[in-house]
Amino acid sequence: MVKEYLKFYIDGKWVDPVKPATIDVINPATEEVFARISAGGKEDVDKAVAAAKKAFETFSETTKEERLALLGRILEEYQKRLEDIAQACSAEMGAPIGLSRAAQAAAGMGHIHSTIEALKKYEFEEQRENSRIIREGIGIVGLITPWNWPLNQISAKVAPAIAAGCTMILKPSEVAPTTGTIFAEVMDAAGVPPGVFNLVNGDGPSVGQKLAEHPDVDMMSFTGSTRAGIIVAKAAAETVKRVSQELGGKSPNIILDDADLQECVTRGVNSCFVNSGQSCNAPTRMLVPAAKMDEALKIAKEAAEKHVLGDPSKDTTQMGPVVSEVQWKKIQGLIQAGIDEGATMVAGGTGRPDGISKGFFVKPTIFGNVTNQMKIAREEIFGPVLALIPYKDEEEAIQIANDTPYGLSASVESKDVKHALKVAKRLRAGQVRMTSAAFDTQAPFGGYKQSGNGREFADFGLHDFLEVKAIVGYDGKVSA
């Protein structure tokens, strides 16, 4: 049965689109339509922006305590819908249900909680000599989120926007939009004031670009590909609005000579293949000492072949399909490029995995003896494909790691924390994980170079949604 999500959430109400039009949502495991959404346009964006503009007049004046209470209610309602969110995520983008529960749905909850903790400690005003420095919500913000970690990115934007006193319009990815509708239901159940949060579904040109161009939108927060991020930035430039972007990555994972090769290579393969490799911070370039390449390839092959592919609804499945036919074809082309350019393929390859005839499944693929100029080392593949690159010494490893247009994240593996820290400081990336560190929602997330600008998570995420005002001549002696 095809589920229908045909209404938008604007000004605290579920409303029909101005012009009826629909987009089919495909289950990537079955290649069948499982849901249908309405496709919005300029008129829907105008209505949502008008609602957000009106709501900002009062919401921007709320106290920190009022916004904390609201975020607390949102968190409570979100927790009630965890299983619904996990099931929707699994159906719309193919994540195994275990991953959907433990990471996809849970990540959204984690960011709301982190924002609450950050807001409790945050001071919006400070005195500097003869000036009062005030940080206040930037205004109406457009939020564009991706399909690969939908609730992670929605919560990482919506929660700090609310904490800052902003009002917003969310456009989830049209590829994986059903979780966005559930999130809107959470916001409605939590009693978010009308106009503070609005949802308009649709594609990039018809909704996303119209948000970026809109003169009443003060800021755009975008997560997605570098290509799409450039389009958003150009559209926003006409009205000189702030643009915060978290874009692509080609993250290096440096396994230093003193690391435990068995442990670190296995962990690196598993980290790369999480979410079928569809993570902007996936460690897709594994740098290993040249003398250990053959041994590393043997370990990587064994790790890759242990992954269980299949029906995402089954608890035993470790890897589901990639999200769409478009992505599948792109990944197939890049795997073929790796073969054509002479990399050593020890696992995987083109085509569907053995025994699977339907769904956008990709064989977990390992390439070795890759040079950093090969296509599979330069381009973001966004699939379960790992490139092992040899290096002759530590200086060359750092040079190779930094030789990329991206700079979102990196990893350093060593038995010596001081050694790992020394290397980490020299990497041009917004986040560097050392020796198997867990994901941290209190740490800033964002990139250097073509991986974007701005930072998300906890108080770092809050900064981007704030303007800074100086009231010069107020010495703080008179109560404000």
Summarised one tens digit per residue, pLDDT across range 101-155 is 999 999 999 999 999 999 999 999 999 999 999 999 999 999 999 999 999 999 9
Convert the pLDDT of each residue in 108-119 to its tens digit.
Answer: 999 999 999 999
Q: Where does 252-434 sit in CATH, by number?
A: 3.40.309.10
Per residue in 196-239, pLDDT (tens digit) is: 999 999 999 999 999 999 999 999 999 999 999 999 999 999 99
Q: Are strands 409-413 and 431-434 parallel, antiparallel or unpaired?
A: parallel
Q: What is the pLDDT of residue 141?
A: 98
Between strands 125-128 and 131-137, the pairing is antiparallel
- Mean pLDDT across the stretch 349-374? 97
Confidence grade of residue 364 (pLDDT, cut at 50, 70, 90): very high
* Amino acid letter, 99: L
> What confidence score (pLDDT) does residue 435 get?
77
pLDDT at 207: 98
Collapsed DSSP state (helix, strand, coil) of residue 455: coil
**Predicted pLDDT at 437:** 81
Query: Is residue 439 over pLDDT 90?
Result: no
pLDDT of 436 strictly over 80: no
Give yes or no: 246 in active site.
yes
Interatomic CA distance for residues 318 and 364, integer angstroms = 11
pLDDT at 233: 96
d(C-alpha 434, C-alpha 411), whole Å: 6
Q: pLDDT at position 391, please?
A: 98
d(CA 183, CA 340): 44
Indicate which residue of 213, 246, 413, 456 is catalytic.
Answer: 246
CA gap 40, 282 in Å, rounded: 32
- For residue 59, what are the CA distances in angstroms to 13, 416, 439? 17, 50, 32
Q: How many helices (H) and strands (E) does the chain have?
A: 16, 21
Percent of the chain clearing pLDDT 90 (strictly above): 97
Average pLDDT over residues 348-352: 98
pLDDT of residue 438: 81
- The reported pTM is 0.96
* The one catalytic residue among 280, 380, 413, 456: 280
What's the pLDDT band for 299 if we cut at 50, 70, 90?
very high
pLDDT at residue 1, as a whole number: 86
Digit-coded pLDDT (tens) for 247-282: 999 999 999 999 999 999 999 999 999 999 999 999
How high is the pLDDT of residue 480?
Answer: 63
> How confident is the model over 28-43, as pLDDT tens digits?
999 999 999 999 999 9
Q: Is the pLDDT of residue 349 over 90?
A: yes
Q: Which CATH number fits domain 3-247+448-471: 1.20.1250.20, 3.90.1150.10, 1.10.8.100, 3.40.605.10?
A: 3.40.605.10
Q: Which residues contact 1 (CB under 8 A, 6 or more apart)?
A: none
- In sequence order, which residues have a C-beta less than 8 Å from that of residue 352 and are 6 or more positions away? 359, 361, 362, 363
The H-or-E segment that residue 388 falls in is strand 385-391
Residue 216 pLDDT: 98
Residue 17 has pLDDT above 80, yes or no: yes
Please choose, from the candidates 254, 244, 313, 251, the residue with its C-alpha nearest in 3D space to the C-alpha of residue 279: 251
Q: Which residues contact 8 (CB under 8 A, 6 or more apart)?
A: 14, 15, 16, 17, 38, 40, 44, 48, 198, 199, 200, 201
Averaged confidence pLDDT in the chain: 97
Q: Is 280 a catalytic residue?
A: yes
CA neighbor of 247 nearest in space, from 293, 279, 283: 279
What are the boundaries of each domain within the chain? 3-247+448-471, 252-434
